[in-house]
Amino acid sequence: MSVIHGEGTYRYEITNEWAKVPPGMEWREVGSVTVDHKDQVYVFNRGPHPMMVFDREGNFLRSWGEDLFSRAHGAHFAPDETLYLTDDGDHTVRKCTLEGKVLMTLGIPGKPSPYMSQDPFHRCTHTALSPEGDLYVSDGYGNARIHKFSPDGKLLLSWGGPGTEPGEFNIPHNICCDADGWVYVADRESHRIQVFDGKGKYETQWNNLHRPSGIYMPPGKCPICYIGEAGPTMEVNRLVPNLGPRVSIVDNNGKLLARIGDIHGAGNKPGQFISPHGITVDSHGDVYIGEVSATAWPRLKPDDPVPNPLHSLRKMIRVTG
């Protein structure tokens, strides 16, 4: 009998073996994952083939991005059927076709802005689009800033800075935007999601989270938000139960609807997570979670050998009825 995870109307079967990766093309870990209008799944990974594309059943379709990307971090499917791909190792955001042709590059490849200078980019992390087509970029590891660009790549405004006050950030790790234009930023190391209007005005924040890393809202007027939370990594708390890693589902006020993950912490089995880093949902309500497992495992389980295989892509299959 299959194990069901979740609660209420958000119940799932979880598989670690969904993607049929061709031999010799295995990835080290998955920075992000996104789906297109056909429910094809784009796995932006830290391996020799940075972008690998699968159909909904997990059959391999194609790969691209070889010799282009330095360190896969964020992937975002746009309504015009393009992809925005954030490379924090290269300090760039690239807009690409679904076949991998680069249409626009933001940032100077290989040349970060000065650390915490507030100028774009220093290890940018993810992107989101406003209803009008403007682009938001979370920036990221070497900055504490959100930048807003016009569709043609002109910088319109920026906001934020290092700190813990409203509107300040301690690793803005992910970002999304809803149909009403509100901007949601996963402020990872402050354990919160901050909510802004389209001009960067702080509105509110969601708490009851632990190191939110991935965040996804389905397109349209959908009040549901899927959040991937990374687990604790400090020696004094990495074994503390009920802190993650996990996937949480909340409404548009941040109220918890369901939480999936082993209460006892990180693991490699179905129903456990290691470090949910990127998250997306297809048209059937199935959830795909990319994990930076190779980076996280030694921090979470320093006394345990690295499993083989070490899972870094999980599919949560929605259970209906």
pLDDT computed for residue 222 by the predictor:
76
In this prediction, residue 321 carries a pLDDT of: 76
For residue 221, what pLDDT is reported?
80
Q: Which of 197, 198, 193 is nearest to 213 (CA)?
A: 193
The torsion of the CA quartet 245, 251, 253, 258, rounded to 10 degrees, works out to: -40
Q: Are strands 60-64 and 51-54 parallel, antiparallel or unpaired?
A: antiparallel
What sign does the dihedral 157-162-167-173 (CA atoms) show? positive
Per-residue pLDDT of the chain (321 residues; tens, 9 = 90+): 579 999 999 999 999 999 999 999 999 999 999 999 999 999 999 999 999 999 999 999 999 999 999 999 999 999 999 999 999 999 999 999 999 999 999 999 999 999 999 999 999 999 999 999 999 999 999 999 999 999 999 999 999 999 999 999 999 999 999 999 999 999 999 999 999 999 999 999 999 999 999 999 998 887 899 999 998 999 999 999 999 999 999 998 999 999 999 999 999 999 999 999 999 999 999 999 999 999 999 999 999 999 999 999 999 999 987
Q: Is 78 exposed, middle or buried (0-12, 13-18, 19+ CB in 10 A)?
A: middle
pLDDT reported for residue 29: 96
In 25-134, DSSP assigns E strands to 30-35, 41-45, 51-54, 60-64, 72-77, 83-87, 92-96, 102-106, 124-129
pTM of the full predicted structure?
0.97
Any idea which residue has 């499993």 for tokens?
Answer: 307
Distances from the Cα of 46 to the Cαs of 29, 60, 74, in angstroms?
5, 17, 11
Could you tell me if 287 and 281 are in contact, meaning their C-beta atoms sit under 8 angstroms apart?
Answer: yes
Highest CATH level, class, for 5-318:
mainly beta
Which residues, other chains included, contact 245 with Cβ-Cβ below 8 Å and sequence gap of 6+?
228, 229, 230, 231, 261, 265, 266, 273, 274, 275, 276, 296, 300
Identify the H or E element spanning 213.
strand 212-216
